[in-house]
């Protein structure tokens, strides 16, 4: 696993300071997403696992250049693969950003598993924070790699979160197979990949 120091990361990509409240699930890790946004000015962002939309709101409130923000999640009756995630199923997916005209929501019985790459726009930044089972993380990664633009960024949340160890297992496995293209930001649970290939 490649690891970049947190201070070094922000020296390279700029400030992640933001206006507004820190999102519950991503907490201070949202700073790295905002730093990416300020460095690359993404026009289209996809978040897999938007939940209530607190992270989306924080990013959108601090990124006026974003033209389209696609949020993907499951319907309220969905039974998660991992028992620990059952309390995270939103009753109203994306409710924090439902009035933002830039937001498009895909709320499906099985979330991202019910989507084909052709359903989604090409994206400059993709944030994966949905189904944290091994199969879920892998399928979301495959989907993200099919819709990311060349030079875009894919981010994964909850690396080294002991409550959902499958995220770490999948990313470590991908790095072993692919040569450490996914990098961890030190003292966070956020990993990222700068994609040389894409749509």
Q: Which residues contact 173 (CB under 8 A, 6 or more apart)?
A: none
Give the model's confidence band at 199: pLDDT under 50 very low, under 70 low, under 90 confident, else very high: confident
pLDDT in tens, 108-157: 999 999 999 999 999 999 999 999 999 999 999 999 999 999 999 999 99
Give the model's confidence band at 167: pLDDT under 50 very low, under 70 low, under 90 confident, else very high: very high
pLDDT in tens, 38-66: 999 999 999 999 999 999 999 999 999 99
Token pair of 197, please? 């290939």
Distance CA 181, CA 193 (A): 6
CATH code 3.40.50.150 for 10-145+153-194:
yes
pLDDT in the model for residue 113: 97
Distance CA 100, CA 104 (A): 9
- 174, 156 contact by CB (below 8 A): no
3-state secondary structure of 71: strand
Stated as kind and residue range, the H or E segment containing 190 is strand 190-194
Distance CA 146, CA 139 (A): 11
pLDDT in tens, 69-106: 999 999 999 999 999 999 999 999 999 999 999 999 99
Give residue limits of the domains in the chain. Answer: 10-145+153-194
pLDDT in the model for residue 72: 98
Give the model's confidence band at 172: pLDDT under 50 very low, under 70 low, under 90 confident, else very high: very high
């Amino acid at each position: 696993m490649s690891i970049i120091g947190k201070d070094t990361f922000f020296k390279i990509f700029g400030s992640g300071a933001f206006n507004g409240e820190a999102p519950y699930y991503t907490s201070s890790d949202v700073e790295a997403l905002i730093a990416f946004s300020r460095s690359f000015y993404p026009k289209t962002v996809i978040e897999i696992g938007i939940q209530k939309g607190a992270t989306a709101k924080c990013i959108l409130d601090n990124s006026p250049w974003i033209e389209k923000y696609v949020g993907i999640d499951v319907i309220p009756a969905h039974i998660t693969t991992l028992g620990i995630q059952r309390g995270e199923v939103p009753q109203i997916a994306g409710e924090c950003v439902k009035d933002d005209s830039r937001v498009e929501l895909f709320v499906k019985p099985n979330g991202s598993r019910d989507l084909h790459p052709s359903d989604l726009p090409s994206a400059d930044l993709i944030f994966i924070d949905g189904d944290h089972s091994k199969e879920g993380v892998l399928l979301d990664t495959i989907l993200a790699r099919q819709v990311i633009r060349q030079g875009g960024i894919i981010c994964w949340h909850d690396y080294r979160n002991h409550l959902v160890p499958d995220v770490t297992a999948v990313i470590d496995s991908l790095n072993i197979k692919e040569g450490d293209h996914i990098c961890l930001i030190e003292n966070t649970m956020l990993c990222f990949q700068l994609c040389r290939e894409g749509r």
